[in-house]
Amino acid sequence: MYDQAGTPPASRTDFVLESIKEAILNGELKPGQALVETDLAAWLTVSKTPVREALKTLVGSGLVVMSPYKGAAVRTVDAAMAAALYDVRLLLEPEALRRAVELGASFDEAALALEDTDDLARRSLANRRFHRALYAGCGNPLMVEILDGLRDQAALVTVAGWGLHPTWEAEAAEHRAILAAATDRDAGLATELLRRHIRTFADRLTEELPDVVR
């Protein structure tokens, strides 16, 4: 497992973490699937220790849930989870973009993240990079930290949405329009386009996902 620059992970735990995360986001590990330490260790040819540490991190990021009786499992997305996540994003992300535009932040990273690929994991990574590049220059480190903390869950929800309807081509066009407004320094238009982009996806998901997953 290497990152896009071809750099190996810093540690065995990082390797395990990124491998499991990618398998979740590309659907190889299904929602609700049990994550058994011995099975994952054998799959990745590592000991159980880095697997255990990686699962703890994934629980913290919201991709994995832990039950005292059933152990670890891939988180299943339901309408309530999606609604709560997108409620926070709608409050913070457009405002962060508005501030970034008004501060004259660079959006070069957002342009580089406009990737066209059929691989779900790579598309999800590019989507994450694009949205982070929009808010990273907002000038408020705490706002960035909060939004960064939502990125893994947002990726999980996005992939779930794409599984219902592959809408990424329409979303890519929306990304290009948002980026054009941001680079033109039209804070009002960029903010409105981003708000509409997030809300459209959220509204569709909350209608189509199950109400509660037990």
**Does the domain formed by 12-74 have CATH 1.10.3720.10?**
no
Query: Are 12-74 and 79-208 the same fold in CATH?
Result: no
The residue extents of the domains of the chain are 12-74, 79-208
**Angle, CA of 199, 205 and 209, to the nearest 5°:** 155
Question: Tens of pLDDT along 134-192?
Answer: 999 999 999 999 999 898 888 888 888 877 777 878 888 999 999 999 999 999 999 99
Judge residue 90's burial from the number of C-beta atoms within 10 Å of its C-beta, 0-12 exposed, 13-18 middle, 19 or more buried: middle
Percent composition of the chain: helix, strand, coil (DSSP 3-state, to 5):
65, 5, 30
Cα–Cα distance, 58 to 72 (Å, whole number): 10
Task: Write out pLDDT tens, residues 14-58.
Answer: 999 999 998 988 778 988 899 999 999 999 999 999 999 999 999
Superfamily of domain 79-208: GntR ligand-binding domain-like (1.20.120.530)
The model carries a pTM of 0.79
- pLDDT tens for 190-208 read 999 999 999 998 888 777 7
Helix (H, G, I), strand (E, B) or coil at 71: strand
